[in-house]
Amino acid sequence: MKLKNYKPLDTDKIMKQLHNGKAMSEKAVEPSLSQIPSVAHRRRQSMMDNTNYKYAYSRKKLILHDKDCESVKHISDEDFEMLRACKIKCVS
């Protein structure tokens, strides 16, 4: 059985185009290691997104900051920790 108007594909030509990147509209770009967020960064972002956490601090400095404080940006991802509540006794 013959198909009407059937023309076999030139696979060699297609493979050369794929190899040269001409057949693709955009070349696939693999992210570099610097673009992949670290585990510590993903953990930090997860904690910051969690509305139950209210306070942030650095393991090294142990200074407590409100979640929205500008100083929180200066805490490294590896030292970053958060608390849900803060119970401070005021001494007068």
**Residue 34 CB partners (closer than 8 Å, separation 6+):** none
Q: Does 59 have pLDDT greater than 80?
A: yes
Residue 85 or residue 10, greater confidence? 85
pLDDT tens-digit readout, 18-53: 777 654 555 556 666 667 889 999 999 999 999 999
List the domain boundaries for the chain. Answer: 39-85
Characterize 36-75 residue by residue with b for buried, 16 or more Cβ atoms within 10 angstroms of its Cβ, and e for exposed.
Answer: eeeeeeebbeebeeeeebebbbbeeeeeebeeeeeebeeb
